[in-house]
Amino acid sequence: MRYFVIILLLPLLFGCKSNKEMPVEFVLLSDVADDIRVDLRYSTNRNFMGRKIDGYESNRCYVTKATAQALREVQSDLRPLGMSLKVFDAYRPQIAVDHFVRWAKDLQDTLNKSSYYPNVPKSELFERGYIAARSGHTRGSTLDLTLVYLENNVELDMGTPWDFFSTRSWPGSELVDPVLQKNRIMLRDVMIKNGFKPYDKEWWHFTLEEEPFPDTYFNFNIR
């Protein structure tokens, strides 16, 4: 009996919400900023695993309300420059993170290695921090994104693709051409101006400074 009780308490101990419905504190990004481009790669096979990820049932972008408001301000700054945000990932259910962990443990599955982690042994993805059992995305205020031109939706060249596991993807990497570095700086500056903090190992990764759920990991599917 005591083991059953422990199992029930695990989600509480880790701050993981097991509810299957979207909390009222979350919003569909298009309801707040409908001109931000959304391309959730984990709802497709265009990602490091090469398959649709558990919990991603649609290409709909959910974030906390505070994050959506801040992104609307970012978009307002970019629009006069003829540019827009393009979101690759936002809220990520815990079930998706669990899918990443299972995949990382299967060392034989290297379908998309050449495109996403050509120089990193799959056995070292945990050790190097590319895969983890908890993700800031699951708290609802972290995003992966880039810049595109409004007129044609073409992405600015950032020196590496999104989710490329390499030191070349670090925002300040000197392995990237200085011209392309300016594109990264443009993205970084507009996000910081509007209340986001960057991540020092991924040029595309930003978290709202004043995120409303810093210790809570949600688990409702993206529908």
Q: Residue 207's beta-bridge partner residues?
A: 142, 197
Catalytic residue status for 202: yes
Q: Which of 169, 174, 179 is nearest to 201 (CA)?
A: 169
Catalytic residue among 25, 57, 174, 202: 202
What 8-state DSSP symbol labels residue 138? G
Q: Using the structure block, give the residue that is written with the tokens 């029930």.
A: 8
Rounded-to-integer distance, Cα 203 and Cα 214, Å: 21
Q: State residue 84 phi and psi, 5-degree precision.
A: -145, 155
**Kind and range of the H or E run holding 26:** strand 26-28
Rounded-to-integer distance, Cα 38 and Cα 88, Å: 6
Residues with catalytic annotation?
Answer: 202
